[in-house]
């Protein structure tokens, strides 16, 4: 089950299509869908979580809490719409493309992909790109 919650005025236009895409990505990676909760918020909301739970006093676009067990993928993913918008401008891409990249980035973390070193970042980016192509189809 995938649920979407909004702490801002932003709303995903086609939740059913995005949910199916997320679910298919999980299956493509060899896992099963458990319970995924997305919370779309602003910088202030996400910064507060970053400080409280991770001891990071910085802005970020995404924080994920992984509750997966074995092959069952579950967790909470918090996304700052403000950061996504700023990043889309910084990376010269559309807001929607950057949003979808961040949406699937959290799922890929739950599937075991990391992004702490250069090689892991390359693999994560390749997996994001693969997933984004499936969303377009």
Residues tagged in the binding site annotation for Zn(2+): 105, 109, 115
* CB contact set of 55 (below 8 Å; sequence gap of 6+): none
For residue 30, which of 70, 76, 75, 77 has the smallest C-alpha distance?
70
Q: ∠ at Cα 136 (135, 137), nearest 5°? A: 95
For residue 135, which of 88, 99, 110 has the smallest C-alpha distance?
99
CA distance 54 to 121: 21
Binding region:
105, 109, 115
DSSP of 113-129, one letter per residue? ---SSHHHHHHHHHHHH
């Amino acid at each position: 089950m995938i649920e979407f919650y909004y702490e801002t005025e932003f709303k995903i236009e086609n939740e059913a299509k995005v949910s199916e895409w997320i679910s298919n990505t999980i299956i493509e990676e060899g896992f099963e869908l458990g319970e995924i909760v997305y919370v779309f918020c602003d910088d202030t909301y996400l910064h507060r979580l970053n400080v409280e739970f991770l001891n990071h006093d910085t802005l970020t676009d995404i924080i994920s809490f992984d509750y997966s067990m074995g092959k069952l993928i579950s967790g909470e993913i918090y996304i700052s719409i403000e950061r996504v918008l700023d990043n889309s401008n910084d990376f010269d891409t559309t807001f929607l493309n950057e949003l979808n990249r961040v949406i699937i980035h959290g799922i890929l973390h739950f599937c075991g992909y990391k992004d702490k070193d250069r090689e892991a970042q390359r693999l994560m980016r390749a997996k994001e790109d693969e997933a984004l192509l499936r969303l377009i189809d």
